[in-house]
Amino acid sequence: MSKLVPPHGSPSLRPLLLEGSTRDEELKRARQMKKIPMTSRETSDLIMMGIGAFTPLDGFMGKEDWKGCCQDYNLPSKQGLFWPIPITLSTTEDLAKSINLGEEVALWDIETESIMGTMKVTGKYGIDKEYECNQIFRTTDSAHPGVQKVMEQGPVNLAGPVKVISESYYPEMFKGIYQRPHEARKVFEERGWNTVAALQLRNPMHGSHAYLAWIAIEVCDGVYVHQLVGKLKPGDIPAEVRVKAIDALVNKYFRRGRVVQGGYPMEMRYAGPREALLHAVFRQNYGCSHLIVGRDHAGVGDYYGPFDAQKIFNEIPNNALALRPLCMDWTFYCYECGSMASMKTCPHESKAVIDENGAYKGGARLLLSGTMLRKLMSEGKPVPSEFSKPEVIAILKAHYDSLEEKVEVKLHKFATGDVKK
């Protein structure tokens, strides 16, 4: 019997992905159905349901679940089960009017131009988009990438159970790194792990990430380096480059028996605290007992405090999740200590000074952030060696050197090291 944490709200995983002849028959049927176009976010959510990462969801949410999720973190249709972010599908008014309740429709990915699944439509409803944004993102600012996505949604949401036909390009493009929950659980069980800490990554693994992972290994059986391979915002480093950089660091600087790498297909919402909770939900489905929650987890810009994603775990019911947060303080390289450190351990408070050539000029604390790393790289500036291992820096430099058009990377206040906890 497995000693791993159980899936969220269910004794077993509930993948909705069809296989073999059942899949072939459903695809044949789907070709005769009305097509509902899906955005990249909706497609990635469908795949997450398909692989069981969103256990125990069985489809896109109806209005009561949407409202309960936004307002109270719960799903009325599932006896008040904890869920932090709406999983919805939108469409146009004309298309919604043409669909009868109970009708089956084909779910069409507009980017790959392929049928991803089918859905039996059990509900059609409008939402207050500003209300959702305020609840989930704590802002209605259109500059926020998550808000922008919600405001661009169609005016009508469709609800109903789904059958998933395809995982899109993920299994092939990210072969060896893309992982389904049951596959991750199998690896953990084969290694005899009971406690597993998930490290969420959407950036290459810089020094602070590695430091957090090493700490997690000290208190858990192992760490699951779990990186997002879904769509990101402009300026973020592409998944294929990030995978290569993380491979270089993990393969050389970690004990093989204490780390597992995996990739998941969800698209970032940049919802900060709320997204940290969603990360916890599906990491539990992957078999993780803990989620490393560091500075500005899943944040963007200056919309959230640096540790809001940690605080929110104290605001939800104690029994909401089996997984627990592994809260880490602000980490940095300290020139006085001569090592990585955190605000809990390091007594030296002065900010490190680095000149335009990347050379150290004095001070103690050098804050390592993915945003700062991307900015230095995008501007062709030297990166201090303390940011990451040379193998990682070389891979990232090759990527930025190959770009014909540079994307401006703006620093938020938590990436500069100017703000104290």
- Two structure tokens written together for 122: 């059990």
Residues contacting 241, CB < 8 A, separation 6+: 204, 395, 396, 399
DSSP readout, 332-380? EEETTTTEEEETTT----PBPEE-TTS-EEE-SEEE--HHHHHHHHHTT
Residues contacting 16, CB < 8 A, separation 6+: 49, 50, 52, 58, 59, 117, 162, 163, 164
For residues 308 and 273, the answer to whether their CB atoms sit within 8 Å is: yes
Q: CB atoms < 10 A from the CB of 404, how many?
A: 4
Residue 136 corresponds to which amino acid?
I
Which SS3 state, helix, strand or coil, does residue 161 take? strand
The torsion angle over the Cα atoms of residues 371, 377, 379 and 382, rounded to 10 degrees, is 110
Q: Which residue is listed with tokens 């290569």? A: 244
What is Dmax (Cα atoms) for the chain?
69
For residues 366 and 335, the answer to whether their CB atoms sit within 8 Å is: yes
For residues 204 and 242, the answer to whether their CB atoms sit within 8 Å is: yes
β-strands 324-327, 290-293 pairing? parallel
For residues 224 and 196, the answer to whether their CB atoms sit within 8 Å is: yes
Q: Which residue is listed with tokens 């007594």? A: 347
**Nearest to 210, CA basis, from 387, 343, 391, 373:** 387
Length, in residues, of the chain: 421
Q: Exactly one of 41, 157, 180, 203 is catalytic; which is it?
A: 203
For residues 209 and 217, the answer to whether their CB atoms sit within 8 Å is: no
Q: Exactly one of 41, 202, 283, 374 is catalytic; which is it?
A: 202
Q: Is 203 a catalytic residue?
A: yes
8-state DSSP, 309: H
Instruction: Tell me the HSE value of 153 on the side-chain side, using a 13 A CA sphere.
Output: 24
Catalytic residues, by residue number, are: 202-203
